[in-house]
Structure 1
Amino acid sequence: MDAATMTQAPVFDPEAARDDFPILARLVHGKPLVYLDTGASAQKPRQVLDAMARAQTECYANVHRGAYWLSETATSRFEAARETVRGFLNAGNEREIVFTANATDSINLVAQTWGRANLGPSDAVLISELEHHANIVPWQMLRDEKGVEVRVAPITDDGALDMAGFERLLDERVKLVAVAHCSNVLGTILPVADIVARAHAVGARVLVDGSQAVVHGPVDVRALDCDFYAFTGHKLYGPTGIGVLFGKLDLLEAMPPWKGGGDMIESVTFEKTTYAAPPARFEAGTPPIVEAIGLAAAVDYVQGIGMAAIADHEADLLRYAMQRLASVEGLTIHGTAPHKAAVLSFTVDGLHPQDLAMVLDRSGLCLRAGHHCAEPLMRRLGVAGTIRASFGLYNTRSDVDVLISALEKARNLLA
């Protein structure tokens, strides 16, 4: 065996990985479970479940407060989780990693702290037509409270961001650009590094909603040079109740707190409170201790496989699924931009998405139906809703085959 062969990374085997996910062995309606809703929430590998169980049975205690072994050990594991996430995003400092409840909480944190302190009636926030409600509503709330203008960059018919339209709306009044890294409906991957460079050229900060992107490939916040990056744990094969906000340290240090309480303070008197430095300033109260440890285990899990290997596997699944879906009579794929993650939304002529999803469920298929928390995007597409198949590392071509077979049966049944 030569040196090149000895150092070659192992090939990712999705069939072997499936064994790590206990739920995938169960039957639904007497059929093998085919889970195609990772975009909403991913299933959890045994490594994550075990890590959380150990945290609760071996060393559970509250963190940052106790002078005893259990608390010190829990604190060490909790803060080690922060360092794991820092490395995952390639952030420059672990103090730039704030633990939140989810990505929605992260975006609202920026809106309610940085936004309130820095935006007013003469300023604008620029978002896109692709956004999830979590990256629309907080800016509308700020608009209604502070008079901030909310601008919306258009998309092209294939679901890509219209960069010419984006440029037309980007001027010195725009103080924040807030965009998804990857669309949760269309799978479109936005050119975030280019967006950041253009925004910074006019003095705007950039917040990126990375909830879908961190699942499908490597993310480097220093290479992107974004000012804020948000994601949620439960889509990354981790638990619910844990999210992450990356923020450049100088920005976090200048931001006021959002929630008040224990652990976000240096000192408190009835006359005055002195706030702690980031990230503690933004983590009031007992944090999601076990969930942070679970998230770190999920990060270790995907990095053990390799994010590039996951991206390659899912790219193959996406190509195969688009080819197979194109053969289904009356089916329209929404979102065919050149740069896509493994997320597919589609409609079938004459069939309501909700009705179709319920029939597909009888074949053991788990798919999302509706507007996917992106109603403005649905209106742009000219549909009330879609069926969405979102793939994870545990999906295979055979899952796609089951979907195609069930679609043909459902079309005949509902026609």
Structure 2
Amino acid sequence: MNAKELRKYFPILHQEVNGHPLVYLDNGATSQKPIQVIEAIDAYYKEVNSNVHRGVHTLGSRATDKFEEAREKVRAFVNARETAEIVFTRGTTTAVNTIAYGYARATLKPGDEIVTTVVEHHSNFIPWQQAAKATGATFKFIPLAEDGTITLDAVRETITDNTKIVAIHHISNVLGDTTPIKEIAQIAHQHGAVLFVDGAQGAPHTKVDVQDLDCDFYTFSAHKMCGPTGIGVLYGKRELLEKTEPMEFGGEMIDFVELYDSTWKELPWKFEGGTPIIAGAIGLGAAIDFLQEIGMEEIERHEKKLVAYAMEQMLEMDGVSVYGPKKDRSSLITFNLSEVHPHDLATVLDSHGIAIRAGHHCAQPLMRWLNVTASARASFYLYNTEEEVDVFLSGLKKAKEFFGNVFS
């Protein structure tokens, strides 16, 4: 099924914005939702709505079954060994904080090292920064190549026997490069370190096999992969999750509560305190079904084709600066138009119905490394077409002409 055929499943795409057909190119921030996901969430509330793991009545049992069926779909999607290694969270941010608090702060000491990069999204940067401050550990950065990519030589030079945690992105939300996770995992493990992977831009766009990658933790959010907002996934190897203390305490995650101490449920429920995001999990399961039917390899192939098509023409435009590798990029292009603030550019494009992102993309250390204050980003997904790329490029040229006249 090609992109044009897939678009029929996305109601939001069939509208006009500012008198023009919507061209949605902000998928790196959040993706649109197919009718299958919307209907799955709707059906839960209409037919099954009940809390899970608590009641013995029929609706409670049905809701629990659907909730845990969604967990199994996630397990299969990333090829985890067991559902106990799949924790539902509120999103990638919560997952990172869970490990930064419950694992890192409990195990690190002065002299230990947390290794990361300046490319990271703030959600995979600040929790580790704060964990280092709290424990006295050293916060270290892998130096970048000229185009912002990570070389294995640089990884080998940075990770030492003092390194305990390596926290890194799978695919950059700014540069669009894919990190060699499997090879970095091997290097980290040779030094006795664990590898935490931010897969927020990875899981929606490429096939993920956590056993093949041999990462210790991997996390992603549903809303970037055709699923609902407010729910994400933390994968962790059982032995490491068992060493991790929960960050939230309360109902659902407890085993026994005494007056002066308590014990926790077994994995994964010890990390899921309170009423979980039941409808969100069911919606995520429906999103995974949708993506699996298309095929992650096909999604990745389509997106890379769109990026290459757009890049070829953008690199030939005067005054357009593209950041990151020029070839073999994932689903996005980050750029600037000379002498034009990206917010102004995004506003002009929006007047033509084209939605892009503008700002620091929650990556201020990377913006400083690039020597810019902000940038524009066009990010593609499975339902975008070459015709939409043409509209975007035409809009970029019109914006260039408009601002050229303003500044002339």
Task: Map Cα deviations across residues 316-357 of structure 1 (whole Å, 9 max, x no partner).
Answer: 111101012123221011111544201100111111111111
1:114-263 equivalences in 2 (<5 Å): 114-263=103-252
Give the % identical residues: 45
- Across the aligned residues of Structure 1 and Structure 2, the Cα RMSD in angstroms comes to 0.9
2:394 counterpart of 1:405: yes
* Candidates 311, 315, 333, aligned match of 1:326: 315
1:7 is aligned to none
Offset of residue 117 of structure 1: 1.5
Offset of residue 368 of structure 1: 0.3
* Farther-moved stretch of structure 1 (91-100 vs 256-265): 256-265
In 1, distance between residues paired with 2:2 and 2:30? 22
In 2, distance between residues paired with 1:74 and 1:252? 26
Please tell me whether the aligned partners of residues 343 and 390 of structure 1 are also in contact (alpha carbons under 8 angstroms).
yes
Task: Map Cα deviations across residues 149-175 of structure 1 (whole Å, 9 max, x no partner).
Answer: 110112112221133222221101100
- List 4+ stretches of structure 1 deviating above 6 A: none
In 2, distance between residues paired with 1:32 and 1:337? 29
2:267 counterpart of 1:278: yes
Task: Map Cα deviations across residues 18-41 of structure 1 (whole Å, 9 max, x no partner).
Answer: 010000001000100000010000
Please tell me whether the aligned partners of residues 108 and 138 of structure 1 are also in contact (alpha carbons under 8 angstroms).
yes
In 1, distance between residues paired with 2:395 and 2:316? 13
2:358 counterpart of 1:374: no
In 2, distance between residues paired with 1:337 and 1:244? 31
Please tell me whether the aligned partners of residues 222 and 228 of structure 2 are also in contact (alpha carbons under 8 angstroms).
yes
TM-score norm. by structure 2 comes to 0.98
Q: For residue 27 of structure 2, what is the amino acid of its counterpart?
A: T
1:112 is aligned to 101
Say which SS state the counterpart of residue 203 (structure 2) adopts: helix
* Farther-moved stretch of structure 1 (12-21 vs 327-336): 327-336
TM-score norm. by structure 1 comes to 0.96
Q: For residue 280 of structure 2, what is the amino acid of its counterpart?
A: E
1:3 is aligned to none
Please tell me whether the aligned partners of residues 311 and 326 of structure 2 are also in contact (alpha carbons under 8 angstroms).
no
1:353 is aligned to 342
Say which SS state the counterpart of residue 176 (structure 1) adopts: strand
Say which SS state the counterpart of residue 308 (structure 2) adopts: helix
In 2, distance between residues paired with 1:152 and 1:337? 23
Q: Which runs of 5+ in 2 are unaligned?
A: none
Q: For residue 407 of structure 1, what is the amino acid of its counterpart?
A: L
2:68 counterpart of 1:79: yes
* Farther-moved stretch of structure 1 (309-318 vs 76-85): 309-318
Offset of residue 271 of structure 1: 2.3
In 2, distance between residues paired with 1:257 and 1:383? 39
2:379 counterpart of 1:390: yes
Q: For residue 224 of structure 2, what is the amino acid of its counterpart?
A: K
* Candidates 21, 25, 32, aligned match of 1:32: 21
Please tell me whether the aligned partners of residues 52 and 63 of structure 2 are also in contact (alpha carbons under 8 angstroms).
yes
Q: For residue 50 of structure 2, what is the amino acid of its counterpart?
A: A
* Candidates 46, 65, 80, aligned match of 2:54: 65
In 1, distance between residues paired with 2:214 and 2:286? 26
Please tell me whether the aligned partners of residues 304 and 328 of structure 2 are also in contact (alpha carbons under 8 angstroms).
no
Task: Map Cα deviations across residues 55-111 of structure 1 (whole Å, 9 max, x no partner).
Answer: 110000011111100011000000000000000000000000000000010000000
